[in-house]
Amino acid sequence: MLPNVAGEPKRRFGRRGSKMKALQLQKPGHASITTIAEPVAGSGELLLKVRMVGFCGSDLNSFRGLNPLVTFPRIPGHEVSATVVEGHGDFAAGTNVAISPYTSCGRCASCLRGRPNACQFNQTLGVQRDGALTEFIVMPPGKLYPSRLSLKELCIVEPLTVGFHAVARGRVAATDTVAVFGCGGVGLGAVAGASARGARVICIDVEDEKLLLAQAAGGAHVINSEREPLHKRLQELTGGRGPDVVIEAIGSPATFRAAVEEVAFTGRVVYIGYAKEPVSYETKLFVQKELDIMGSRNALPEDFQAVIQLLEAGKFPVDQAVSVIVPFEEAGNALRSWSENPSKFKKIMVSLD
Ligand SMILES: [Zn+2]
Ligand SMILES: [Zn+2]
């Protein structure tokens, strides 16, 4: 985009030299609004007005300085709904979109195998590169998913895709019983994704409120593993065989182990949680049960399409899942309150309108 010259219609956005506001993490525990240069769309990119940004556990980790992939200063924001400022065709000005925050190099082993979600050199918005908590961003159209969904719904697409991808990795079918360990944002997507495929889903968490939400998202059974004996309940619910698929969305050594202990013989285990410490296993179970054990990372375009379809069908309790929407000016305070009181919030979204 060129700077304004005399006689050209005045552009409101994307002028070289213009300034805009952004929320910046300066150092662990410190977030404030700062002024940065407005981005200018290069060739093959579109200028977008950011409308809403969601926070998840990884943003909380970044804020606390516990995300090893984040260096400071960093602008967070990878769960985004936005509006095209200037574009054409499917991406005409005014079109609302969800965004895929990942990049892929096209040359690493994952990319060559058609699995760019696990690109060795991926750079997620707000993690390895500056994110979307700012007024404008530029993106290539391939990362945009236009839909008539509301801004709030578009903003919840990305966090749900991560769980949907795990369900795809686990080859979940309608005949399966799937146990999901952890019903926070990511686990909730796995519950919704597995139930959208017709599977019977057992939701496991230690917080009743999260279990209620998981039920609203399609869970058939819930187990509060703090109050109920996990192994006994899983056996009861599966005729003594254990779940066909276990999806682990917590990342603790105990749940990493429980996944292989509880899954049925010849079952599938999918890990989404990042374990922060080494996990010791009774590895004979891998062999004895002839398990498929898989990792699941980020999401593919088809996961975005599947989530959008689910939301368009009104099959996900969006209002119930989002606990608070704060204005841009309050985004830093919201991160602070969340950090001080992690169990108080389900999902925080920031409105930039
Ligand atoms: Zn997230
Ligand atoms: Zn790659």
Q: Which ligand is nearest to the CA of 126?
A: 1
Beta carbons of 300 and 115 less than 8 angstroms apart: yes
Mean pLDDT in residue range 279-308? 97
DSSP assignments along 139-204, one per residue = E-GGGEEE-SS-HHHHHHHHHHHHHHHHHHHTT--TT-EEEEE--SHHHHHHHHHHHHTT-EEEEE
> What is d(CA 11, CA 284) in angstroms, rounded to the nearest whole number?
65
Q: Which ligand is nearest to the CA of 115?
A: 2
> What is d(CA 182, CA 247) in angstroms, rounded to the nearest whole number?
9
State the sign of the Cα–Cα–Cα–Cα dihedral 115, 120, 124, 130: negative
Q: Which ligand is nearest to the CA of 109?
A: 2
Q: How far is the CA of 159 from the centre of ligand 1 (A)?
A: 5
> What is d(CA 301, CA 68) in angstroms, rounded to the nearest whole number?
26
Q: How far is the CA of 101 from the centre of ligand 2 (A)?
A: 14
**Distances, alpha carbon 347 to alpha carbons 155, 186, 254, 334, in Å:** 11, 11, 25, 11
> What is d(CA 278, CA 213) in angstroms, rounded to the nearest whole number?
31
- For residue 323, the model assigns a pLDDT of 82
Q: How far is the CA of 30 from the centre of ligand 2 (A)?
A: 33
The structure tokens 């989002």 sit at 322
Q: How far is the CA of 41 from the centre of ligand 2 (A)?
A: 23
Q: How far is the CA of 84 from the centre of ligand 1 (A)?
A: 22
- For residue 5, the model assigns a pLDDT of 38
Q: Which ligand is nearest to the CA of 61?
A: 1
Mean pLDDT in residue range 193-210? 97
Tokens of 128: 């390895």
- pLDDT tens digits for range 214-267: 999 999 999 999 999 999 999 999 999 999 999 999 999 999 999 999 999 999
Q: How far is the CA of 323 from the centre of ligand 1 (A)?
A: 15
pTM for this predicted structure:
0.93
Q: Which ligand is nearest to the CA of 114?
A: 2
> What is d(CA 90, CA 147) in angstroms, rounded to the nearest whole number?
10
One-letter amino acid for residue 127 of the chain: V
- For residue 167, the model assigns a pLDDT of 98
> What is d(CA 150, CA 120) in angstroms, rounded to the nearest whole number?
33
- pLDDT tens digits for range 84-118: 998 888 899 999 999 999 999 999 999 999 999 99
Q: How far is the CA of 115 from the centre of ligand 2 (A)?
A: 8
Q: How far is the CA of 300 from the centre of ligand 2 (A)?
A: 13
Residues across the chain: 353
Q: How far is the CA of 269 from the centre of ligand 1 (A)?
A: 22
- pLDDT tens digits for range 3-34: 333 333 444 555 567 899 999 999 999 999 99
The structure tokens 């109050």 sit at 227
| Percent share of the chain, pLDDT over 70 | 95
Q: How far is the CA of 108 from the centre of ligand 2 (A)?
A: 4
Q: How far is the CA of 124 from the centre of ligand 2 (A)?
A: 13
Question: Mean of the per-residue pLDDT values for the chain?
Answer: 93
Tokens of 148: 């008539």
Mean pLDDT in residue range 121-129? 96
| Percent share of the chain, pLDDT over 90 | 88
Beta carbons of 214 and 183 less than 8 angstroms apart: yes
Q: Which ligand is nearest to the CA of 103?
A: 2
Q: How far is the CA of 5 from the centre of ligand 1 (A)?
A: 41
Q: Which ligand is nearest to the CA of 79?
A: 1
Q: Please name the residues in contact with 286: beta carbons below 8 A apart, sequence gap of 6 or more.
A: 260, 293
Of the two residues 15 and 128, the one the predictor is more confident about is 128
Q: How far is the CA of 257 from the centre of ligand 1 (A)?
A: 25
Q: Which ligand is nearest to the CA of 104?
A: 2
